[in-house]
A and B are shown apart, each in its own frame.
Chain A
Amino acid sequence: MRFFGAAVLPLVITLIVIFGIGKGVKIFDCFIEGAKEGLVTVKNILPSIVGLVVAVSMLKASGGLDIIVKFLSPLSGITGIPEEIMPLAVLNPISGGGALSMYELILKEYGPDSYLGRVASVMMGATETTFYAIAVYFGSVGIKKTRHTVFAGLIADFTSFVASAWTVKLFFGS
């Protein structure tokens, strides 16, 4: 399994390069051309990332995040999300790195094969950092009116949180 996990990335790149050679593409010239375009995209998303990362680290350092978690903890009873997992659920849409370190804490404390460990694992596997994605994707092309993306993205997140608690019960019993 470990080999497979490690092989995906190199394999994909190698296959694309071999395919390119097979079709007679000037692969290195092509690569340089594409990489230049990548650089332009980085320039466009830099401001969004700075803005979001600073705001998230402010939220964490000020203790504001803990307040939000406390405020939302009654929701755990209604939705079936275990209370211990609530901080992970709150962090998940706003901070990828934060969610990852929270996930590690949960694994360390409860073990990966416990109910809580499994719910946290499913939650981590089934979500992305919504606000980061929205800021970067729209920031890269300069779109200001994101319309209902935030709302729909949060609905998707919420569904996956509730679903992780539910699917783990379904597949493993509680």
Chain B
Amino acid sequence: MMMNYVWGAMVVFSFISACFSGNMQALSDSVVNGGQEAISLVIKLTGMMCLWGGIMKIAEKSELTKVICNMLRPLFSFLYKSIDKNSLTARAMSMNITANLLGLGNAATPLGLEAMRRMQEENPDKSRATDDMVVFVVMNSAAMRLIPTTVATLRTQFGSASPMEIMPATWLSTLLSLFAGVTVAKLISRITSKNKENIFDLRFSKRSKVR
């Protein structure tokens, strides 16, 4: 729901800005180019999605995901109490987390979407995010990488004497940001979950059935 406001604000604000700054032609071009840019992004992503979908399937059938999931067990009992640690959902989630930690951004998204698909299967209200989904997406929207590969590559390119020296600072920043994001997500989940038997909730679920 929030995304509706964000998206609407972006479009309307752009138009108003262009009226005042005289960038109307540029704005008009950006609509066309933006569409093309999006498609080329999706094409790039398609290869990755298929590749990692396939690799993930191999990891799953060979039960490698189970091994990795077991290694991340403490994290699950801490962050995702309601998810069964032996389920395929937990395994897909741990693959996503591992890919993130290794700095494999291209793999993390496909694996994360796989986890979302699994979580959605167990979601009673298909139009509403569960508490776990919120925490999971917040974790993915913050970074949880141990090796900042892109940053290190660029720093090397621009002649840094020590491209990896920023790693400890990055870890600390990421940790603080993850902590803040997850805490806020969990707190709000707890507050709002009390209203579950509320009339409003019933009405919303009815409306979504009609759609």
Contacts and interface: CB of A to CB of B under 8 A. Distances in A.
A3 to B, nearest CB: 12
Interface residues of B, number: 112
A80 to B, nearest CB: 13
Nearest to A51: B7
Contacts of B179: 159
B178 A163 contact: no
Interface in B156-172: 156, 158-164, 166-170, 172
B160 to A, nearest CB: 4
Given A41-B110, A61-B23, A152-B184, A140 B160 contact: no
A144 to B, nearest CB: 5
Interface in A87-121: 94, 100, 103-104, 107-108, 111-113, 117-118, 121
A41 B163 CA distance: 36
Contacts of A156: 138, 141-142, 177-178, 180-182, 184
Contacts, number: 379
Contacts of B142: 126-128, 130, 153, 156-157, 160
A35 B50 contact: yes
B10 A150 contact: no
Interface in B87-117: 102-105, 107, 109-110, 112-114, 116-117
B84 interface: no
16 contacts: A1-B164, A23-B61, A36-B53, A38-B49, A62-B13, A124-B150, A125-B167, A126-B143, A137-B116, A147-B128, A148-B184, A148-B188, A148-B189, A151-B184, A151-B188, A168-B169
In the A-B complex, list the 4 residue pairs whose CB atoms are closest, starting with the nearest.
A156-B181, A38-B53, A34-B57, A61-B30
Interface of A: 1-2, 5, 8-9, 12-13, 16-17, 19-20, 22-23, 25, 27, 30-39, 41-42, 45-46, 49-64, 67, 94, 100, 103-104, 107-108, 111-113, 117-118, 121-131, 133-138, 140-153, 155-160, 163-164, 167-168, 170-172
